[in-house]
Structure 1
Amino acid sequence: MSTYNAGQTATVIYQADPAVVQHLHGVRESLHHSCKPYLNHKVRVQTLDGMTHEGIIAGMDSKNMYLMVTVTMDTPRGFYSPYYKPYPGPVYPYPPYPGPVNNNVILPLVLFELLAISLI
């Protein structure tokens, strides 16, 4: 059920300047052309918030860059590994649980939040 009233006019709270919108489209196109040749390459990415991530460019779409990062036990807990076994495996005659395939996770980064991308 919608609470939209057809008889009322909407009050605009914010509307982007058309020049800013055009500039942002240009930035997005520039990022795509700059990063596409470096898919599957190891990079260091710095965001506008000052965070730095190292990983492999796994892909891009119109809004995000997907960075494959390796999670180690030293990494602060922020990613959940579905392969983590808090208890010992079953006892004989059952086969042991398979170990983790890898410790990689995909970190989506918003394109407009990226400040610098460098090869490492």
Structure 2
Amino acid sequence: MSTTSSGTQSPVIYQADPAVVQHLNGVRDSLHQSCKPYLNHKVQVQTLDGQMHEGTIAGMDSKHMYLAVTMVTDMGRGYYNPYYKPYPGPGYPGPGYPYPGTVNSNVIMPLVLFELLTISLL
């Protein structure tokens, strides 16, 4: 049982099995050590849910891999942007606003180490 700040007992909904915690820590450490030599290398990453990402390993910490990815803005997809103008003019929000088809390579995607299935060099 856990105790709240008011001193009352609240029921524990989930508690990880200590063997599972030890195994996950080993997997995390192994993955971290395997990927550390490949910082700044281009990779393809597949997550447990099947998503594929391509980019460059920009960094790692104990919980995440940071993948530098290239993003292409596309007004044909996603949410409606009320500020979109195909050319600078009245109502244009200013510098730094991406045009459709603009490539932005300054995007860092944090990926949770526990959710990574495969990492392949490109």
- TM score, norm. by length of structure 2: 0.74
Q: CA distance change for structure 1 residues 98 and 11 in 2, over 3 Å: closer, same or farther?
A: closer
Separation in structure 1 between the aligned mates of residue 22 and residue 45 of structure 2, nearest angstrom? 25
Match of 2:68 in 1: 68
Tell me, which stretches of 5 or more residues in structure 1 are unaligned? Answer: 79-83, 91-95
| Pairs within 5 Å for 1:76-91 | 77=78, 86=85, 88-89=87-88
Q: Return the match for 1:114 from 98, 113, 116.
A: 116
Distance 2:121 2:27 in 1: 20
Q: Aligned pair in 2 of structure 1 residues 36, 27: CA closer, same or farther (>3 Å)?
A: same
Structure 2: give runs of 5+ residues left out of the alignment: none
Q: How many residues align?
A: 109
Deviations 1:54-113 (A, max 9, x none): 0000001111111111012459548xxxxx9736447xxxxx95787x612111111100
**Runs of 4+ in structure 1 over 6 Å off:** none
TM-score by length of 1: 0.75
Percent same amino acid among aligned pairs?
64
Question: How big is the alpha-carbon RMSD for the aligned residues of Structure 1 and Structure 2?
Answer: 3.0
